[in-house]
Amino acid sequence: MSRVSVPKAVLDGLEAVRRSGLTNMLDRPVVARLAKEFGFDEAAQWTEAHRKEFSEGIFRGFEMEEATRRTHDGR
């Protein structure tokens, strides 16, 4: 199975929450709240708006969207 592609800002926010260790990543509402508290508004909004993709990403992993990767890498 492939990873779930997300914008870099979302990936950064989810990683910040994960590294904080303040919640189980399966607790989507708390993940969204913490992302917002940490200043990752886009990650918080994405988590709320993409519930199915969030759940799939927890088990399959997340990766940066190709379009975002090209912009970020300068390609």
Q: What is the pLDDT along the chain (75 residues), one digit of tens a residue?
A: 899 999 999 999 999 999 999 999 999 999 999 999 999 999 999 999 999 999 999 999 999 998 766 666 665
Classify residue 9 as left (phi > 0), alpha (psi -120 to 50) or beta. alpha
| Helices within the chain (DSSP H only) | 8-20, 28-37, 41-49, 51-60, 66-73
Given this model, what pLDDT does residue 49 score? 98
Rounded to two decimals, the pTM is 0.88
What is the total count of domains within the chain? 1
| pLDDT at residue 70, rounded to an integer | 63
> Which domain range does residue 15 map to?
4-73
